[in-house]
Every structure is written in structure tokens, then in C-alpha cells.
């Protein structure tokens, strides 16, 4: 028995929780149960020891007497081997002994030891236990059965032999007792003995004789029936029936109320208990004084002064006696309520219920098995009806709350309704009234409500149900399920007025559901929708107008759900879905034609006109609507409504276009009519209107910025309608005639995008209008001029929109059409407008950088026939460019994105290849140059722009002018035009900002270009332009000098007057400031300019004095000149011309003193220029002067020229003017002549010649030694006189400066 108990114990201990192990350890974790585990283990140890000892005894006994049972007894045989006796009576059981085998004891020992291991090992309780890994002594198989809660008995641990032995003993005892006889009186009968029958009868009779004599039975008294009978008179009299049952009903109602009161009291008692219970205990402050003795473990000799007193303060949980008493009272009251509630109902309640049930049964028996007409004629039928409504009236909250009465009344109402109400049509209205008055009875009464039975009242009853408030939506849904509208329409065939009345009721109900029905009325809302669809589709289109009016009125008040609009579209066959950004192609139009719509073309047109009138009036119906637009109130309906309007307009367009195209007459009129219908339909939704206010007229937008997403749908549908109209008549009419886009563009400019339209409106417009097929738009002249008007009178975003659609048009074909088919005046107006538009587009950097098509168009536009643009119009365009465009655009690289406008102006101005030349072309070219120059000048005033960037723009201008000149047939005829253009370019030096480096950059750039293009035809015209234009004499001198330098480096033919004839014609020295000009030329080293001036002045000399003045100027200029190595050779021209003038003075009899004076004045300067080191200053005096900056060639020329002129002045008054004149400086005549003591070479002349000859051996001049020999020989030759001075200069120029082409004029002296 112990093994079975332990088995049950371990099954409980090892009971597993999901993923959490066993529950046993948790049970023994508490202090109260922890000792039980130890006791269990101790008990198992005792059992194991007991059986271990028993097995030893059994083994020893078996070895002592294997055939005889042992005398030893154990706990199993101690009580089992004795016979049962009762008070010493009967034979005792045979005393026998049974010895349990040692093997059985050993099995138990092993089992109990396994149990001990299970208790000691906590890991066996873990969820991750792996049984195959356990050692054999843990007996994993039995543990697995324990874990699986297997209830199979472990029969190997039951001593079956002992059980069979004891059963045999008891059977033997029973047999002996059953055969035994009665023992004597001294022995007590055995429990199994059988009593004597006679004795039993005698005892019974003896006992009965002691009772009193029985009395006679009482008389039979007639009892009153607990439930009264229901008579036929009562059944036929409804008042009598209701009066007889009134007491029963009151009893039932009162008892139900009593139950409800008990329940309420019960709840109140429990609530009171829950309120008191938290305050049953409270924390009581307690203070305890504690004595702590002194016990020192460190110092045994320590003497304690006494125990320490410590006060402990804490809060003790204390019972609240008042609340405890209240709880006791509460529980007593609770027990009393329970006792009252469990008491059976009174007899009157039971009899009343039975009486009512009998009455209903009697009524049913009276009318059953009769037709409806026969039933109605029976008085009992009316009694049943009255009883039904009376029961419904008596069914109050108490009745419904008490389960027995609720069940009883429900059953009664169900039976009465089934027999007396359900099949009676006239009862539908009355029953509906009862249901509406007592909605709580709907579950019991609604099953008897059949509204289809009463066709005439169907719509009225539907309206009553539909008017139920939202909080009674469940009742409404329950009742509406009884209304079979489909059956009513098919079978009853109601009149149009009844159907319209029902449609209005449904519409009102849908409005009461709201635009977003709550979840609890969603099913009711869906039912209304389905009923409205049925009405709409029944004998369509009888109620099409009614339904549309219902939707519009409900939507106007924001009470209708958008799903109702979707239902309308679905019912009409409007499966239209808008495709964002998709082109309206023929395939889509074909699908639109094939759409099976219930509406005919005339019905669609009538609907469009009606909607147009409705929304147009609504748009101006109030100040708020005009101010905030229609979208504020129609926000939930925009999606289906826009689809509806788009479907109507496009379907009408397709069908009307199909009709007109088929007959081929009145196509343009049809396009106008369709356009008008489409615009009027969408005008209330997309057009900004003007309203009158107290302060005047005011523009009001069609929608607020927050409604832009909604307006997108409406604008998109309008766009697709326009696209449909355009595509439908594509290729029907020729280009440049009336089509949808030609009508849309004026509408957009004049109506949609005029001033006052706010940006958020325009953004929606442009996002949708851009998808129109603008490639099919071939604008007339008025449309192009409207584009210019758009820039002037509309927002900037409108022009950006135009820039997006502009490149999509085929302007190449358009321009060719106007040039070929229109008058020159019309073509000119088109080209002027087109050029201005392109310039305006080029100004928009965002448009240019993001629109590749615009870049391509502007590139193509450069090849248009811009000769149609007259100079006055071109000047206006140039002026617009200057006033509106950023000047820094001129600094971009040519053909760059930001330079598109200038590139186009350049082409329109007449620059480029394959251009048509007109009379206005020269002026237009100058205008373009002036435009670029003015833009550069504006840039020069900006500190943010680097002046280095001017170079490219100026270089481009010069190249443009040069290419124009090169392309001309007669270059000479273009010289005035070139001068005019160069004048505009050089105006940069006059108009650029004086501060900064702008002027310097401009001047350097022009000079560098001139220097890099010496063969350009612009060189000579540039001289004239510089003289005419430049306000600064310094700039004029530098520019003229640079042109002359470039001209002589051009490699052109200079045989005619050394090339100076062309320069003489072009140089125009300012008359008023020519002296200042000459001074600036000296300062800037413009020696060629001064030489040209001398050449121009000489023909004007009328006397020797005039020529002497010129000579003096040359001498003075030489004295003031500070040449460098790049300009030193130019002085040879001066000196040659000075020598020529000296010779003329001598030849024409002028006093020699003037010539000698001029030569003597010139000599020191030549001497200074010819020195290798500067002699000025203290360092120069001692030979440590600065090294000369002039070249060796020029120093050689100076020494040679100085030596020559000094050799021609042997005295202060003598001048060698003839060959072999006296006082020559030859080697033979270096000493003075005896007959002419005053005429001899001067020491200066001899010194100069010696200085010249010293160069022969100077290593520095080794490369010039031949020229030095030649010069010294020429000076020493007596045959050379003053008249040969120019020849010497020409000789030196030819030898030393062969690369200086401006000295070619001197080389002519060598061939004279």
C-alpha cells in the first residue's frame, strides 16, 4: 500500500508546467511545507530499511527450513493471520503464517531507494531534463511514466501471492460458517449465522400488539382547483379575459420586482463589504523598551556598568473593531438575503403562470385549423390579439430581468404572435408602433413583423424605422431586415409617388448616418445604400433625378457619405478611372465609347446643364462659399464627384464628336459648343471669381491652399476633358484652326491665370495642364501674343509653365509656315514675339538648367529667319534684356546654358553663318554689341564678380566682329560698320567701373586680342574707333599704339610707303586735346602714334618754320622718351624724320644755327642712351651706375648716330651738308686744316667715334661687330654728310632690326 501512495505522491510532485519544469519544488519552497519534504524522505528511508531487513530474514528462514513457513512475522502478517471473532462467538479463523519472498522485499528496497534519489536531485524538476542521460539507479523508465502522468499500476510491487493466499483463507472461513449450526446461549451468534424465521414473526407481532387501535379514515372534502378554468365566454370576451388574467399578471410582475430588489440588495451588501474590507486593519504605533546586556568577548576583566536600554518604535497591524463589527453585520445580512433568495416562489405565482398558459392554450385551440379569414371573424381571435399586446405592455424591466418570467413571457409572446399577429397584414403598423415604443421587446416581437404584407403602408413604415435615432441602430437594422424592397417592387408594383417617397426616406436616413458612419451603424448604412440602388435601377430613369438630387442636397450639407456617390456611378455604369499623366489616346477613347452607360447623350447633356446651374448658383450662394470655395463643404465627395463630372463631359464629347464627324458638317461649331459646355461644367470648381463686398470687388479663389489635393482631382478631370476634345478632333481640321488647345490657351491666359490668382491655385493648374498634348498645338499669332501677355500680366509661375510646354510645340514648322504662307508683316510680328519669348525663357535659369527640350529649342532658334525682326523691335528686345536679365550671364562660356539668351540675340543680331542680310542688319549688330558691352559694364560695378572673367566675353565680341567682316564680300564697304561695332566695344573703357581692375582687364584683353590677331581686318578700323570713342587719352594712346604694332606684325604687303599710308588714313588725333594726347603718347611709349602724327602734320606745314617746329617736337620727344627694349627701335623713325627735316632746312636756306642747335640738343640724349651704364648720379660719375635697360643693338645705333651727327658739326657755325665737305672725321683729316683753323672735328665727335670704335673689341658686342665696323666706316667716310644721316639710320635699321616691319619706310633710303 505504501508503494501506491508514493506513486500518487510523485505523480503530483513531478507534474509539469509548460516550459517551466515541475511544480513540486515550488510547493516545498515555503517554510510551512519545507519540513514535509524531510519527513517524506525519512519515511522512505525507514521503508527501505524495513524491507532490507525483511529480505534478510526471509533469506535466512528459507535457508533454515525451505519447506516450512517461518515463525517470523512482519507487519503484513501480524494482523492478517488471526481469525475474526465477535465477542468470543463462532469459530476463529485458522491461524496460519505466510512468508513474503526475499525477491519481493528487494524489489521494494530498490524502488524506495530510487524514490530517495528522486527527492534529493532537484535537477529532475527542470524543463531541460534529458532522461536517457540519467544513471541506471534513477530508473528513467519509471520516471518517464511519472512525468507523463500514466496511471498504470506497477503490478511488480504488489504481493500477489499473499493476496491469493488471504482470499483462499477467507473463502474457506465463509464455507465453514455457512454450514455451522446454532451455538448455545452461552455463545454469541456469528455475524454470518442466519436467524430463526419463527422467532422474527413472533417478535414483530408482539411489538404490534402494544400500539393503539387504528381510527377510521376521514371523510372526502371537495377541494377548490388551484388554477381556475377558462370558460368559452371568457375566450370570446377580450375584456373579460384581460380582467381575469390581470391579477395573475400583477402577481408575476410583483414577484419579478421582488427578485430584482433582492438582487439589488445583494449587490449593495457585497459592495459595502468590499468598501469596508480594506479598512479592517490599521497600523498602530508601538514603542517597546529593550534591555541589552553587556557581554564582552575581548576583555574578560571588563566591568559592565549595566545593560543598555534601547527603545524600539514600529507600527503594528491592529484589528479595527468598528469595521470588524460592520463586517459581521454585513455578512449576517448577506446570509439572510441568500436564505430569502433560495426560498421557493409563492403558490400564487405558480398558479398565475399556469392560468395564463391555460388561457393561451385555449385561445389557440379555438382558432387553430381555420383559415385567416375565418379566424378574424372569431371573437377569440381578437381576444388573442389583445392579449398579445397586453403581455407586451406588461413586459417591463423587472419581467425581463428575472429569468423565469423572461422565459415565460417570451414563450407566450412568441406563441401568440405566431397564431394571431404574423399572418395579419393590418397588424404590421400596430406592431411597428409597439416596437418603436418598446425597443427592448424587438427581439421577441420583431419575428412577427412582416411589412411586405401591407404594401400601401410600406413606405410609411420604412420612414418610421429610418427616423430612429443612431442609438437605436440595432433596432432599426433588425426591422429593416424585414423590409424586402426587391419583393415589394416586383410584386406590389408601387406607384411612382410611393417609390419617390421611399427614395426620399432612404435619402434622409443616409443623411442621418453622416458622411462617415460610425462602426455600429455601418451595417444599417449598407442596407440603406442597397435599397437606394434598388429604387434607382427600378424602371430607370424614373428616379435618376430624385437620387441625384438627394445626393447633392445631402452632400451640400456634408451629411451624405461618399460611398453613395460611388454607388450612383457604379449603377450608371460609370467605371471611369483617371490615369495620372497618361495621354488620352484613341484606345482610351474607344474604351470610353464602348462603356455601357445607362444614360443617353441627351440625358448626359441634361445632367451636365443641371449640374452646371446647380454648382454655379451654389458657388455664389453665400459669402462663406464664395470665400472658401466649394471644396470646404464638398471635401469628402470630390473624388467620386470629379469622376462623375469627368465621365459626363468626356462621354458627351465622344458621342457628340462621333455624330458630328460622321456627318462632316459644323465641326468648328461643335468644337465651340463642346468647349463651352466643358468650361461651364468645371467653372465653379476651378475658376477664380470676382465678388462684390462692402469695400468693393474682390477676387476669391476656388479653393483654399489646404484643399489643393482635392482640387487636383477636379483640375485633372478638366484637363482630361480638354485632352479628350483635342484628341477626338485630331487630324479632322487643318492646323492653325480652331481646336481644343487653341480654345484652351486664351481661356488659360484670360480666365485662369490673370493677376490676382494665388500661387497655390496656379500650382495645381500647372501640374495638370502640362500633360496636355502641346505637341499638337499650332498657335496663331494672337495666341503667341497672348504668351507675351502672360509674362506681363500674370504670375511668374505661369511663365515658367509656359516655358515647360513651349518646347513641345513644333516651332520649326510653325516659323516655316508663317514665313511661307503669311504676309511679311505677320511673319515679322511672329518672329518678334517669338524672339522676345525665347529671350525671356533664357532668363529663367531654373527653366534652362532643368529643361533639356528648352535648351534644344533655343539652339534651333538660332537658325530661324531673324531677318524678319526689324531694328526697332530688336532694340526693344535688347532693352528688355538689359533691364531684366542678370548681367553676369554675359560672362559664361559661349553656348553655355546661361548664355542661351545672348547666343540667340547674337544670331538675331546678324552674327553667325548662313544669315540673311537686311538693311537693318548693321544696326542690329551694333545693338547686340552695345548690349553685351553694357552688361559687362554692369558686371564691373559688382564686387562679387571677378574681372578676370571679362576676357572671354570681350574676346567673343572681337571674334564676332571679325567673322562678320571676313564673311563680307566687300570688306572696304564694311569699314564704317566695323568702326561702329568697335566703337561699342571700346566703350567698355569709358563705362566700366573706374575702381578695381575692370578697365585694366578690358584694355589688356583688347590689346592681347589685337596682338594675337595681327592680320585681322579690325586693326585699322580699331585705330579710328579708339580715336573716336575713348575718353581717356591714355587708353587712346595705348590702344592706337597696340593697333599699329599689330598692323606692322601682320605680314601684309608694306611696299606702299612702308605700310604707313593705311595708318595715316585711320589715325584721328583729337583736335581739342591733341597736345594732351601727344603727352599721353609720350608717357605711354606710343612712339609709332607720335610718328604717325608727325607724318600727318608735315603735309600741313606751309613754311620752314612750321617744319622747324616739327623738328623741335621730334628732338624734344627724344629728350623726354624713356624707351624700353620693345619700343627702342621706334625712335629710329623719329631720328630719320628729324634728319630729313634738318636736310630740308639746309636745302631751303634756313640758318644752319637752327639745325646745329637741334643736333646739339639731340646729342646728349643719344650719348646717354648709348652708354652701357648710367652716368647720372654719384655712382654713375665713378663708373658704378646702373646697367642700361636698352638693348645692345639700340646702344650701337645711338653711338653710331651720335658719332655721325657730331662729325657733321665741326664748328659752332659750320655744318657738313655736302660730300667731302671740310672737317670730315676721317683718319686723315682728324687734325684741323691750316687754311681753316676754326673748322675741325670737335673733341666730342672724336670721342664719340672712339667710343664707337671701342665696340669693335668689346666682347659684349661680339655679335654686333660687323654692324659696328659698318657704322664706324660710314661715320669716317668723308663722302657722307648730313644728307646721308637717314641713310645711316636705314642701314642700321636694316642690319640690326630686320624684324621691325614699321622700319620698312627707312629701307627705301637704301634704294635711292
- The per-residue pLDDT for range 344-364, each reduced to its tens digit, is 888 888 888 898 888 888 888
Angle between helices 824-843 and 871-884 (to 10 degrees): 10
Cα gap 771→54, rounded to integer Å: 107
Cα gap 742→735, rounded to integer Å: 10
Q: Name the residue with cell 496656379.
A: 762
Continuous segment of H or E residues that includes residue 484: none
Confidence check: pLDDT of 805 > 90? yes
Instruction: State phi, psi for 1220 to the nearest 5 degrees.
Output: 60, 30
| The predicted structure's pLDDT at residue 43 | 84
Confidence check: pLDDT of 834 > 90? yes
Burial 992-1003 (b: 16+ CB within 10 A, else e): bbeeeebbebbb
Cα gap 1293→1290, rounded to integer Å: 5
Whose CA is closest to 317, among 278, 284, 280? 284
Instruction: Please compute the mean of the pLDDT values over residues 826-842 and round it to a whole number.
Output: 92
pLDDT tens-digit series, residues 573-611:
876 555 444 444 545 555 655 555 778 888 999 999 999
Instruction: State phi, psi for 919 to the nearest 5 degrees.
Output: -65, -25
Mean pLDDT of the chain: 83
Contact 313, 285 (CB under 8 A): yes
Q: Name the residue with cell 642700321.
A: 1292
Confidence check: pLDDT of 411 > 80? yes
What distance separates the 2 farthest-apart alpha carbons in the chain?
226
| The predicted structure's pLDDT at residue 75 | 40
pLDDT tens-digit series, residues 497-511:
999 999 999 999 999
**DSSP per-residue codes, 909-949:** TT-SSSPPP-TTHHHHHHHHHHHHHHHHHHHHT-TTS-GGG
| The predicted structure's pLDDT at residue 1244 | 87
Confidence check: pLDDT of 89 > 50? no
Whose CA is closest to 811, among 747, 858, 746, 744? 858
| The predicted structure's pLDDT at residue 787 | 92
pLDDT tens-digit series, residues 964-1019:
888 777 777 888 999 999 999 999 999 998 888 888 999 999 999 999 988 888 89
Which residues, 6 or more positions from 1211, have their beta carbon under 8 angstroms from its beta carbon? 1223, 1238, 1239, 1240, 1242
Reported confidence tier of residue 341, pLDDT bands at 50, 70, 90: confident
Cα gap 40→119, rounded to integer Å: 9
Whose CA is closest to 387, among 421, 353, 354? 421
Residue 388 neighbours by CB distance under 10 Å: 25
Instruction: Please compute the mean of the pLDDT values over residues 139-167 and round it to a whole number.
Output: 79
Name the DSSP class of 53.
H
pLDDT tens-digit series, residues 174-212:
887 766 544 444 444 444 444 555 567 777 777 777 777
Burial 692-704 (b: 16+ CB within 10 A, else e): eeeeeeeebbbbb
Contact 282, 296 (CB under 8 A): no
Instruction: State phi, psi for 21 to the nearest 5 degrees.
Output: 85, -160
Of 42-56, 829-843, 1250-1264, least confident by mean pLDDT is 42-56
Burial 855-872 (b: 16+ CB within 10 A, else e): bebbeebbebebbbbbbe
Which three cell numbers, joined as nine digits, stand for 857? Answer: 529649342
Cα gap 1040→1024, rounded to integer Å: 8
> Cα-Cα-Cα-Cα dihedral of 1144, 1145, 1148, 1152, to 10°?
-140
Most confident of 24-38, 159-173, 1081-1095: 1081-1095
Confidence check: pLDDT of 70 > 70? no
pLDDT tens-digit series, residues 98-120:
777 888 888 888 888 888 887 87
Confidence check: pLDDT of 450 > 80? yes
Q: What percent of the chain has pLDDT over 70?
A: 89
| The predicted structure's pLDDT at residue 88 | 35
Cα gap 114→289, rounded to integer Å: 55
Instruction: Please compute the mean of the pLDDT values over residues 802-812 and round it to a whole number.
Output: 93
Reported confidence tier of residue 72, pLDDT bands at 50, 70, 90: very low
Continuous segment of H or E residues that includes residue 783: helix 781-793
Which residues, 6 or more positions from 541, have their beta carbon under 8 angstroms from its beta carbon? 598, 599, 603
| The predicted structure's pLDDT at residue 1132 | 92
Which three cell numbers, joined as nine digits, stand for 521? Answer: 451603424
pLDDT tens-digit series, residues 885-928:
888 888 865 555 557 888 889 889 888 777 788 888 889 999 99
Cα gap 774→770, rounded to integer Å: 8
pLDDT tens-digit series, residues 544-572:
999 999 999 999 988 999 999 999 988 88
Continuous segment of H or E residues that includes residue 224: none
pLDDT tens-digit series, residues 1049-1065:
877 666 667 778 888 88
Threshold 0.75, pTM exceeds: no
| The predicted structure's pLDDT at residue 632 | 87
Most confident of 54-63, 976-985, 1068-1077: 976-985
Of 280-294, 567-581, 934-948, 1119-1133, least confident by mean pLDDT is 567-581
Reported confidence tier of residue 1142, pLDDT bands at 50, 70, 90: very high
Q: What percent of the chain has pLDDT over 90?
A: 30
SS3 363: helix
Confidence check: pLDDT of 328 > 50? yes
Cis peptide before 1213 (omega within 30 of 0): no
Q: Using alpha carbons only, give the angle 935, 938, 939 rounded to the nearest 5 degrees.
A: 90
Q: Is 311 exposed, middle or buried (0-12, 13-18, 19+ CB in 10 A)?
A: exposed
Which three cell numbers, joined as nine digits, stand for 379? Answer: 371573437
| The predicted structure's pLDDT at residue 946 | 84
Contact 30, 23 (CB under 8 A): no
Cα gap 1126→1089, rounded to integer Å: 15
Contact 1052, 1015 (CB under 8 A): yes
Instruction: Please compute the mean of the pLDDT values over residues 411-432 and round it to a whole number.
Output: 85
Continuous segment of H or E residues that includes residue 410: helix 403-416
Cα gap 983→1134, rounded to integer Å: 30
Q: Is 765 exposed, middle or buried (0-12, 13-18, 19+ CB in 10 A)?
A: buried
Amino acid at each position: 500500500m505504501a508503494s501506491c501512495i508514493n506513486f500518487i505522491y510523485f505523480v503530483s510532485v513531478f507534474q509539469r508546467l509548460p516550459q517551466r519544469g515541475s511544480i513540486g519544488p515550488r510547493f516545498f519552497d515555503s517554510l510551512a511545507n519545507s519540513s514535509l519534504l524531510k519527513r517524506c524522505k525519512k519515511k522512505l528511508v525507514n521503508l527501505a530499511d524495513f524491507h532490507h531487513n525483511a529480505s534478510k530474514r526471509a533469506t535466512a528462514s528459507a535457508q533454515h527450513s525451505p519447506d516450512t513457513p517461518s515463525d517470523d512475522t512482519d507487519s503484513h502478517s501480524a494482523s492478517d493471520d488471526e481469525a475474526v471473532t465477535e465477542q468470543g462467538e463462532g469459530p476463529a479463523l485458522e491461524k496460519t503464517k505466510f512468508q513474503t519472498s526475499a525477491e519481493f522485499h528487494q524489489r521494494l528496497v530498490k524502488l524506495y531507494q530510487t524514490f530517495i534519489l528522486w527527492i534529493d536531485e532537484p535537477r529532475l524538476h527542470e524543463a531541460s531534463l534529458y532522461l536517457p542521460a540519467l544513471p541506471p539507479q534513477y530508473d528513467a523508465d519509471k520516471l518517464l511514466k511519472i512525468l507523463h502522468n500514466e496511471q498504470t499500476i506497477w503490478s511488480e510491487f504488489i504481493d500477489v501471492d499473499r493476496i491469493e493466499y488471504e482470499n483462499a483463507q477467507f473463502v474457506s472461513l465463509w464455507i465453514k460458517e455457512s454450514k455451522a449450526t446454532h451455538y448455545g446461549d452461552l455463545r454469541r451468534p456469528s455475524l454470518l449465522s442466519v436467524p430463526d424465521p419463527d422467532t422474527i414473526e413472533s417478535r414483530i407481532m408482539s411489538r404490534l400488539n402494544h400500539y393503539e387501535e387504528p381510527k377510521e379514515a376521514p371523510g372526502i372534502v371537495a377541494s377548490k382547483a388551484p388554477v381556475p378554468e377558462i370558460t368559452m365566454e371568457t375566450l370570446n370576451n377580450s375584456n373579460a379575459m384581460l380582467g381575469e388574467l390581470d391579477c395573475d399578471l400583477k402577481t408575476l410582475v410583483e414577484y419579478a420586482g421582488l427578485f430584482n430588489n433582492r438582487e439589488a440588495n445583494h449587490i449593495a451588501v457585497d459592495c459595502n463589504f468590499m468598501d469596508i474590507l480594506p479598512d479592517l486593519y490599521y497600523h498602530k504605533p508601538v514603542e517597546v523598551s529593550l534591555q541589552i546586556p553587556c557581554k564582552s568577548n575581548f576583555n574578560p576583566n571588563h566591568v559592565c556598568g549595566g545593560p543598555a536600554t534601547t527603545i524600539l518604535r514600529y507600527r503594528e497591524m491592529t484589528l479595527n473593531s468598528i469595521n470588524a463589527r460592520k463586517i459581521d453585520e454585513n455578512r449576517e445580512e448577506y446570509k439572510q438575503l441568500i436564505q430569502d433568495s433560495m426560498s421557493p416562489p409563492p403558490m400564487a405565482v405558480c398558479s398565475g403562470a399556469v392560468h395564463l398558459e391555460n388561457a393561451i392554450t385555449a385561445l389557440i385551440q379555438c382558432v387553430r385549423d381555420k383559415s385567416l379569414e375565418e379566424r378574424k371573424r372569431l371573437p377569440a381571435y381578437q381576444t388573442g390579439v389583445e392579449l398579445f399586446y397586453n403581455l407586451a405592455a406588461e413586459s417591463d424591466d423587472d419581467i425581463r430581468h428575472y429569468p423565469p418570467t423572461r422565459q415565460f413571457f417570451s414563450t407566450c409572446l412568441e406563441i401568440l404572435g405566431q397564431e394571431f399577429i404574423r399572418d395579419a397584414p393590418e397588424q404590421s403598423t400596430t406592431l411597428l408602433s409597439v416596437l418603436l415604443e418598446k425597443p427592448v421587446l424587438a427581439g421577441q416581437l420583431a419575428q412577427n413583423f412582416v411589412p411586405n404584407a401591407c404594401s400601401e403602408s410600406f413606405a410609411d413604415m420604412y420612414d418610421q424605422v429610418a427616423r430612429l435615432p443612431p442609438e437605436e441602430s440595432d433596432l432599426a437594422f433588425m426591422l429593416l431586415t424585414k423590409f424586402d424592397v426587391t419583393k415589394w417592387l416586383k410584386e406590389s408594383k408601387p406607384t411612382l409617388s410611393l417609390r419617390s417617397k421611399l427614395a426620399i426616406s432612404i435619402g434622409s436616413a443616409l443623411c442621418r448616418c453622416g458622411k462617415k458612419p460610425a462602426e455600429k451603424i455601418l451595417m444599417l448604412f449598407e442596407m440603406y445604400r442597397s435599397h437606394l440602388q434598388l429604387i434607382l435601377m427600378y424602371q430607370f430613369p424614373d428616379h435618376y433625378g430624385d437620387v441625384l438630387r438627394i445626393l447633392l442636397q445631402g452632400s451640400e450639407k456634408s451629411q451624405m457619405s461618399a460611398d453613395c456617390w460611388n454607388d450612383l456611378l457604379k449603377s450608371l455604369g460609370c467605371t471611369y478611372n483617371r490615369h495620372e499623366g497618361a495621354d488620352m489616346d484613341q484606345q482610351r477613347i474607344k474604351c470610353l465609347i464602348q462603356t455601357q452607360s445607362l444614360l443617353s447623350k441627351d440625358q448626359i447633356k441634361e445632367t451636365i446643364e443641371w449640374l452646371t446651374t446647380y454648382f454655379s448658383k451654389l458657388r455664389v450662394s453665400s459669402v462663406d462659399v464664395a470665400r472658401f470655395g466649394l471644396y470646404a463643404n464638398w471635401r469628402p465627395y470630390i473624388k467620386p464627384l470629379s469622376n462623375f463630372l469627368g465621365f459626363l463631359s468626356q462621354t458627351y464629347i465622344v458621342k457628340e464628336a462621333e455624330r458630328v464627324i460622321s456627318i462632316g458638317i459644323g465641326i468648328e461649331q461643335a468644337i465651340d459648343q463642346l468647349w463651352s459646355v466643358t468650361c461651364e461644367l468645371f467653372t465653379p470648381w476651378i475658376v477664380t471669381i470676382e465678388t462684390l463686398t462692402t469695400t468693393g470687388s474682390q477676387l476669391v479663389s476656388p479653393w483654399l491652399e489646404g484643399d489643393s489635393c482635392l482640387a487636383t482631382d477636379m483640375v485633372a478631370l478638366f484637363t482630361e476633358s480638354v485632352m479628350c476634345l483635342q484628341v477626338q478632333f485630331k487630324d479632322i481640321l487643318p492646323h492653325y484652326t480652331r481646336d481644343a488647345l487653341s480654345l484652351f490657351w486664351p481661356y488659360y491666359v484670360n480666365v485662369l491665370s490673370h493677376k490676382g490668382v494665388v500661387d497655390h491655385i496656379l500650382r495645381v493648374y500647372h501640374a495638370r495642364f502640362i500633360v496636355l498634348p502641346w505637341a499638337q498645338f499650332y498657335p496663331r499669332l494672337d495666341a503667341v501674343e497672348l504668351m507675351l501677355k502672360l509674362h506681363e500680366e500674370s504670375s511668374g509661375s505661369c511663365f515658367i509653365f509656359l516655358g515647360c510646354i513651349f518646347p513641345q510645340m513644333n516651332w520649326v514648322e510653325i516659323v516655316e509656315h508663317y514665313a511661307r504662307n503669311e504676309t511679311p508683316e505677320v511673319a515679322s510680328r511672329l518672329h518678334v514675339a517669338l524672339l522676345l519669348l525665347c529671350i525671356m525663357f533664357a532668363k529663367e535659369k531654373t527653366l534652362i538648367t532643368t529643361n533639356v527640350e528648352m535648351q534644344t529649342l533655343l539652339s534651333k532658334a538660332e537658325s530661324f529667319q531673324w531677318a524678319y525682326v526689324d531694328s526697332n523691335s530688336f532694340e526693344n528686345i535688347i532693352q528688355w534684356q538689359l533691364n531684366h536679365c542678370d548681367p553676369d550671364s554675359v560672362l559664361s562660356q559661349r553656348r553655355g546654358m546661361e548664355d542661351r539668351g545672348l547666343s540667340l540675340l547674337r544670331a538675331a543680331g546678324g552674327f553667325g553663318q548662313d544669315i540673311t542680310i537686311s538693311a537693318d542688319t548693321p544696326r542690329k549688330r551694333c545693338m547686340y554689341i552695345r548690349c553685351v558691352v553694357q552688361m559687362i559694364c554692369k558686371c564691373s560695378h559688382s564686387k562679387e564678380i571677378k574681372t578676370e572673367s571679362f576676357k572671354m566675353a570681350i574676346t567673343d565680341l572681337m571674334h564676332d566682329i571679325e567673322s562678320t567682316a571676313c564673311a563680307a564680300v566687300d570688306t572696304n564697304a564694311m569699314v564704317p560698320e566695323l568702326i561702329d561695332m568697335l566703337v561699342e566695344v571700346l566703350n567698355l573703357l569709358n563705362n566700366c567701373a573706374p575702381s578695381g581692375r575692370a578697365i585694366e582687364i578690358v584694355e589688356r584683353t583688347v590689346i592681347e586680342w589685337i596682338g594675337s590677331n595681327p592680320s585681322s581686318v579690325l586693326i585699322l578700323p580699331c585705330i579710328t574707333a579708339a580715336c573716336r570713342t575713348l575718353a581717356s587719352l591714355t587708353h587712346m594712346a595705348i590702344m592706337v599704339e597696340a593697333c599699329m604694332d599689330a598692323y606692322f606684325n601682320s605680314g601684309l604687303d608694306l611696299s606702299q610707303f612702308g605700310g604707313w599710308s593705311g595708318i595715316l588714313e585711320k589715325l584721328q588725333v583729337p583736335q581739342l586735346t591733341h597736345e594732351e594726347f601727344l603727352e599721353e603718347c609720350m608717357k605711354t611709349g606710343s612712339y609709332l602714334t607720335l610718328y604717325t602724327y608727325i607724318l600727318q602734320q608735315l603735309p600741313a606745314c606751309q613754311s620752314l618754320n612750321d617744319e622747324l617746329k616739327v623738328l623741335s617736337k621730334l628732338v624734344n620727344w627724344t629728350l623726354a622718351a624713356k624707351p624700353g627694349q620693345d619700343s627702342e627701335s621706334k625712335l629710329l623713325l623719329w631720328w630719320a624724320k628729324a634728319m630729313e627735316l634738318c636736310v630740308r632746312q639746309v636745302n631751303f636756306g634756313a640758318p644752319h644755327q637752327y639745325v646745329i642747335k637741334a643736333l646739339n640738343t639731340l646729342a646728349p640724349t643719344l650719348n646717354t642712351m648709348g652708354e652701357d651704364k648710367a652716368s647720372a648720379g654719384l655712382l654713375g660719375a665713378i663708373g658704378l651706375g646702373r646697367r642700361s635697360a636698352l638693348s645692345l643693338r639700340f646702344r650701337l645705333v645711338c653711338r653710331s648716330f651720335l658719332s655721325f651727327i657730331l662729325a657733321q658739326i665741326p664748328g659752332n657755325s659750320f655744318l657738313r651738308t655736302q660730300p667731302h665737305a671740310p672737317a670730315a672725321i676721317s683718319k686723315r683729316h682728324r687734325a684741323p686744316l691750316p687754311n681753316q683753323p676754326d673748322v675741325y672735328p670737335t673733341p666730342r665727335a672724336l670721342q664719340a667715334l672712339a667710343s664707337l670704335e671701342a665696340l669693335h673689341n668689346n666682347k659684349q658686342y661680339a655679335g654686333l661687330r660687323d654692324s659696328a665696323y659698318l657704322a664706324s666706316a660710314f661715320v669716317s667716310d668723308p663722302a657722307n654728310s648730313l644728307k646721308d644721316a637717314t641713310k645711316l639710320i636705314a642701314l642700321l635699321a636694316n642690319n640690326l632690326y630686320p624684324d621691325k616691319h614699321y622700319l620698312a619706310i627707312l629701307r627705301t633710303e637704301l634704294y635711292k
